[in-house]
Structure 1
Amino acid sequence: MTTLYVSDLDGTLLTRNHEISPFSAGVIQDLIDNHIHFTYATARSFASAQAVTAGLRTRLPVIVNNGAFIMDPATGVPLFSAYFQQEEKMEVARLLARHQLFPLVYSQQEGVERVCWLTGEENEGMRYYFRQRPGDKRFQPLSSPEGLYAGDVFYFICMGERDTLLPVYEALRDHPHYQCILQQELYRTEYWCEIMPKPATKANAILKLKEKLECTRVVCFGDGLNDLPMFAVADECYAVSNAVETLKAAATGIIGANSEDGVACWLKEHAAPYIKRG
């Protein structure tokens, strides 16, 4: 049997400082170099994920933007992508406008990824997000709504208080055209409402990757609500001890926290014995 191991990044594989510890990087790189099938699935963009996993040389395609893309890590070329249809993105835009919410809008415009928003409408959650990504070339602040939804849109994020975001989540959570996640931001007080096209899930991307690699099993690691879909399709799924309780309840087992190199320790014990060293 060939197993595909898939880990979330923030709160799972990464430390609180948004980096992979030297111990975790060493253990996982040894597994990768010895042909263990390991990759990650994250809500981060490809550029952001590459930055925080700089100490890890991945060989397999990686899953980013909550499953909106499967990317070749060597070339940055999408192997799978999910975008909103024109009417879908405008329906979301109208819903957000009715509730006076001002999103970050992620799109591809003429082959370039953009993150657009209206200047003057930033809140503290958005400002924190920007501070964590200094010099990000994707950022495109706009002084008017014109152009906010240009190009091929694949992701909306609204940040703020839970009660403010809840009506949008309730309107979209069971909608046939959208994936919608509402959860508290890691290490922060504000909530994120994330809206994606229906095919954009970690689970869908993992199943595509499993088929492409001809793997027979999937083992997943996570910490948040957006990891629930991939837990549902995994043969085994492990929540780090700092995970939300809902994910722990869905897990095969609980492993050490992200601050304790939980994923790497589990892999060292359970995956490393399958290495065939020459």
Structure 2
Amino acid sequence: MNKTLYVTDLDGTLLNTDICISETSLKIINDLIASGMHFTFATARSLVSARKVTKGLLANIPVIVYNGAFIMNHEDGEILYSRKFTSDERGDIVSLLRKHHMHPLVYSFIEQQEKLSWNQNHENEGIKHYINQRLDDPRLRPLSDDRNLYDGDMFYLTCIGEPKELEIVYQIMQGDERFRCTLQQELYRTEYWLEIMPRKATKAEAIQHLKTMGSCDRIVAFGDAINDLPMFEIADEAYAVANAVPALKAAATAVIADNDQDGVAKKLWELYQGTAN
């Protein structure tokens, strides 16, 4: 019998508008996991952030974080797979961002410790909000200037601001096959995010790797946003929640109930009941 890997995005998909998993969804999914379902999540969040919003979820296989840059063990944070920028890629990114006077949030490993670095003297409202939601985060590395902003093994950058100021860099980066970029409005606010990652740091690449690791035969995916398109393209079945962007709905096998109506959990139950995969 085929062994299926079930993968869901978090924000806007499994998480409701209160940015948590409802008690109903938790019970359904945990019961399915206990019965043998191979379930995980793939998110743009870090493992630290994902753990907070998935509290109570009995994740029994590794999870995908930073939009596919890493596969990690949920419990101990061990890195099982990673995609980072090369030194040449990092140099070109830094030159471009400095040329356009942009001050990103920089995610990197410095002396084997994961860090989130930013220049405190160039905080806009979007950056302030993001940081203020994470004041107890051990990764935070505030700096007074950009001199050491890009230290370490860099794997992910986010520029937060207005679309007009981000569009120029986005268009340049889109033309460079070494990188993958997304430009979209932040789910819960008015600001836009320009995210820059290595080309192979995608949910699709990480899911394919996790599929092989787990000796699975099929992939069933759930999502709501543009960054979920790559995993929809490689999934055997792909379901967009009702609140998803039109482009994702167009790529979906079907559209299910929205994230405030336990759409993912109810569909998982429908797909999994009566099977042993």
Structure 1 and Structure 2 fold alike (TM over 0.5): yes
In the alignment, which residue of structure 2 is the partner of 1:42?
43
In the alignment, which residue of structure 2 is the partner of 1:249?
250
Q: Is 2:229 aligned against 1:236?
A: no
In the alignment, which residue of structure 2 is the partner of 1:124?
125
In the alignment, which residue of structure 2 is the partner of 1:77?
78
Q: CA deviation at 1:174?
A: 3.6
In the alignment, which residue of structure 1 is the partner of 2:53?
52
Q: Is 2:102 aligned against 1:98?
A: no
Does the Cα contact within 8 Å between 1:31 and 1:275 map onto a contact in 2?
Answer: no
Does the Cα contact within 8 Å between 2:121 and 2:145 map onto a contact in 1?
Answer: no
Other structure's SS at 1:274 match: coil
Give per-residue Cα distances to partners, 1:197-221, cap 9 Å, x unaligned: 1110000000001111111110000
In the alignment, which residue of structure 2 is the partner of 1:108?
109
Alignment of 1:60-75 (within 5 A): 60-75=61-76
CA distance in 2 between counterparts of 1:131 and 1:255 reads 34
Letter aligned with residue 50 of structure 2: A
Q: CA deviation at 1:273?
A: 2.4
In the alignment, which residue of structure 2 is the partner of 1:166?
167
Does the Cα contact within 8 Å between 2:72 and 2:81 map onto a contact in 1?
Answer: yes
Alignment of 1:25-36 (within 5 A): 25-36=26-37
Other structure's SS at 1:258 match: coil
Letter aligned with residue 2 of structure 1: K
In the alignment, which residue of structure 2 is the partner of 1:3?
4
In the alignment, which residue of structure 2 is the partner of 1:270?
271
Letter aligned with residue 164 of structure 1: E
The answer to which of 131-140 and 61-70 deviates more is 131-140
State the Cα RMSD in Å. Answer: 1.1
Q: CA deviation at 1:185?
A: 0.5
CA distance in 2 between counterparts of 1:74 and 1:105 reads 24
Q: Which runs of structure 1 show a deviation greater than 4 angstroms over 4 or more consecutive aligned residues?
A: none
CA distance in 1 between counterparts of 2:241 and 2:124 reads 30
Other structure's SS at 2:164 match: helix
Q: CA deviation at 1:89?
A: 1.1
Q: How many residues align?
A: 276
CA distance in 2 between counterparts of 1:135 and 1:72 reads 22
Give per-residue Cα distances to partners, 1:192-243, cap 9 Å, x unaligned: 0000111100000000011111111100000011000000100110110001
Letter aligned with residue 126 of structure 1: I
Q: CA deviation at 1:131?
A: 2.2
Letter aligned with residue 112 of structure 2: G
Other structure's SS at 2:150 match: coil
Give per-residue Cα distances to partners, 1:18-37, cap 9 Å, x unaligned: 11111111111111111101
CA distance in 1 between counterparts of 2:130 and 2:174 reads 24
* Amino-acid identity (%): 51
Letter aligned with residue 60 of structure 2: R
Q: CA deviation at 1:187?
A: 2.0
Gaps of 5+ in 1: none
Alignment of 1:150-161 (within 5 A): 150-161=151-162
Letter aligned with residue 26 of structure 2: A
Gaps of 5+ in 2: none
Other structure's SS at 2:260 match: helix
CA distance in 2 between counterparts of 1:272 and 1:52 reads 26
Q: CA deviation at 1:99?
A: 1.6
Other structure's SS at 1:120 match: helix
